[in-house]
Amino acid sequence: MSGARGLSLLSGGLDSQLAVRVLQRAGAEMEAVCFETPFFSSAAARKAAAALGVPLTVVDFTDDEIALVENPPHGFGGAMNPCIDCHTTMIRRAGEIMAERGFDFVSTGEVMGQRPMSQNKQALGVVEKGSGLKGRLIRPLSALLLDPTIPEQEGLVDRSKLLDIHGRCRERQIALAAEFGIVEYPSPAGGCKLTEEGYGRKLKDLMNHEGLRTRRLVELLNLARRFRLPSGTGVILGRDKGENTVLRGETAVGTVLAPVNCPGPTALVPEMKSPGDVALVAEMVAAYSKCDRLEGDVKVKVVPKGAQDGAGEETVSPARPYDRTKFMEWQIC
């Protein structure tokens, strides 16, 4: 009983860590793979792989995920999370690595019945079929509730060491974590921005207007307030010094507006849909500025998209009064 080499999907969550340990106990030599995008980071997986002592391959999954958000064959979960298709595609990518690098199987920490929509028996079957890994995909935590896979049938993985965990109760996983000495793991639900309703609103708005093909605009969804003006112009408005500093450096993806004579937010506008919007966004910047003690009007510097060496820069001065309530109805998140 040895010689089986497995590649396990590792998110860093407890179940994915347990999957590695259970398969090692069943005689397999394990490595891990994780996927990263602007929607979820690989930090927890990197930490878990180091703690487990297994080699980790990190795959940039952004293009795959964006294509699925634009067109999810099995639809979305509670927000903009195309979980069934996302999971299927990750397993397919892992299968490609399996074929390239001579692994015997791919494994995951899925538990049957844990998530009503994406981890019921039918969904697990859909994922296995869609991934093209039929017979080579092991879910060690629920394996005894599923048909034996090829490595189990061939005796490369000891099926008697695999488990029959079912449902949402976490007691057995917690006990197993103690048995394996796994002490650090993030909460099962956290980590993926696509499952957050507020984030989903921002993402949908970007998809419907500027589209998702400019990766930097997708990455910037993680910060700042969002507004959509009546003309269709989108505005990304910094909330603090750190965000303002980031937005000031984004002239490659949009026009940047910032106050010059008082503290206040930086605005990034990917595309001005109407000529009057420069003045409107300058007014927004003034309205969100700390200009109470300023005598006279706020001056706002406008740096056009793609400008180099100060070309096309201008300073505009929206007239008082500055009223935030005017802009609040256009705020998305």
Residue 69 structure tokens = 């958000």
CB of 192 vs ligand SF4, minimal distance in Å: 3
Of residues 288 through 317, those in contact with ligand SF4 by CB under 6 A are none
CB of 22 vs ligand SF4, minimal distance in Å: 21
Among residues 192, 175, 170, 316, the alpha carbon closest in space to that of 255 is found at: 316
Q: Does 87 bind ligand SF4 (CB under 6 A)?
A: yes
How crowded is the C-beta side of 184, counted as CA atoms within 13 Å?
A: 11
Of residues 153 through 192, those in contact with ligand SF4 by CB under 6 A are 192
| Nearest-angstrom CA–CA distance, 22 and 191 | 24
Exposure pattern of 160-176 as b/e (b: 16+ CB <10 Å)?
ebbbebbeeeeebbeeb
CB of 189 vs ligand SF4, minimal distance in Å: 9
> Quick check: 99 and 61 in contact, CB under 8 A?
no
Q: Which of 22, 54, 86, 91 binds ligand SF4 (CB under 6 A)?
A: 86
Total residues binding ligand SF4 (CB under 6 A) = 9
> Quick check: 262 and 273 in contact, CB under 8 A?
no
The amino acid at residue 84 is I
CB of 201 vs ligand SF4, minimal distance in Å: 16
Between residues 79 and 307, which has the closer beta carbon with respect to ligand SF4? 79
CB of 36 vs ligand SF4, minimal distance in Å: 10
Between residues 86 and 217, which has the closer beta carbon with respect to ligand SF4? 86
Between residues 72 and 148, which has the closer beta carbon with respect to ligand SF4? 72
Between residues 142 and 233, which has the closer beta carbon with respect to ligand SF4? 142
Tell me how far CA of residue 265 lies from CA of 111, 240, 242, 306, in angstroms: 46, 7, 10, 20
CB of 216 vs ligand SF4, minimal distance in Å: 21
Q: Which of 45, 182, 194, 253 binds ligand SF4 (CB under 6 A)?
A: 194
CB of 67 vs ligand SF4, minimal distance in Å: 13
Q: Does 123 bind ligand SF4 (CB under 6 A)?
A: no
> Quick check: 208 and 202 in contact, CB under 8 A?
no
Q: Which of 24, 173, 195, 233 binds ligand SF4 (CB under 6 A)?
A: 195
Of residues 66 through 85, those in contact with ligand SF4 by CB under 6 A are 81-83
Backbone region of residue 279 per phi and psi (left: phi > 0; alpha: psi in -120 to 50; beta: other values): alpha
Binding-residue pattern over the window 34 to 63 for ligand SF4, x denoting contact by CB under 6 A: ------x-----------------------
Alpha helices by DSSP H, listed for 71-169, are 83-101, 121-131, 150-153
Q: Does 14 bind ligand SF4 (CB under 6 A)?
A: no
Between residues 43 and 178, which has the closer beta carbon with respect to ligand SF4? 43
> Quick check: 284 and 247 in contact, CB under 8 A?
no
Among residues 55, 48, 57, 40, the alpha carbon closest in space to that of 17 is found at: 48
Secondary structure class of 21 (helix, strand, coil):
helix
CB of 122 vs ligand SF4, minimal distance in Å: 16
Using CB under 6 A, list all residues that contact ligand SF4: 40, 81-83, 86-87, 192, 194-195
